[in-house]
Amino acid sequence: MLTAVVLVPLLLLSNTLAQDDTISEIQKTISVLEHRMNSAESSLKESQGNLVKALQRVAVTEAKLQQAETKLVQADVKRVQLESELKKHSAAIAGLTQNLSTLQGKQTRHIAFSVGRSTSLTATGENKVITYDKIWLNDGNGFNKFNSYFVAPLSGVYMFTYNNLYHSNKNSFVLFMMNGKHVQSSQGYDANGGWGMSGNEIQLRLQKGDSVWLELYKNHYIYSNVYLYSSFTGQLIYQN
């Protein structure tokens, strides 16, 4: 049986060894914690660096967005200016178009005709339209060569003249007609059997599409031949 002298040192040694083991474990734990702390600090620094880079990229993106917004605002201002100018130009073009239409409407076209007849004509029993087979002039194409009517191409004031030859105790009685109504006449007669010219002149306001022509009154006569004694002329003096 060990004595107390021997046991006490052993107990002290045992306690010392136990403390050394505890210290060693604590030191290991501290070393592990320090390693983890260093790793965490490294990760934190790396994260901070990435965050700084990300913030820099965000700042660059924001700057680009601001530039884009500035350009968009400038473009919108330019668009408004262009739209305003376009409206002005459109209004100017509309005004010019209206003025052009007005001028074209007022522009005087050359309308005139001059025709003659190369044969005599007798109206037996009823009036006859005097037709003309010689056309000297038909500017504006108002004179219809098929029925010898003049149809006004434009509204305005027109002047008409007509002449016919009569002879040998035969009456020449010519009616100036407008839209089916008698407007004016000319008459010639020589009881002594001579020759003479009868005719007349008139100025009328016609609307576009109005028709005028000459009729030989029933049982009357006009003389003509290749020398074209019978004639009918008209022209536009001015438009309405």
pLDDT on residue 37: 82
Report the sign of the C-alpha dihedral through residues 47, 53, 57, 62, in that order.
Answer: positive
Residues 6+ apart with CB under 8 A from 132: 115, 116, 117, 145, 148, 230, 232
Between 93 and 5, where is the model more confident? 93
Residues 6+ apart with CB under 8 A from 24: none
Q: If you average pLDDT over every residue of the chain, what do you get?
A: 87
Is this structure's pTM higher than 0.75? no
Res. 12 pLDDT band, cuts 50 70 90: low
Query: Which amino acid is residue 192, in one-letter code?
Result: N
- Weakest mean pLDDT among 18-22, 127-131, 162-166, 175-179: 18-22
Model pLDDT for residues 92-108, shown as the tens digit of each residue: 888 777 766 666 555 55
Q: Is the pLDDT of residue 40 over 70?
A: yes
Res. 25 pLDDT band, cuts 50 70 90: confident
Sheet architecture: strand order including 230-239: 134-139, 112-117, 230-239, 156-167, 195-206
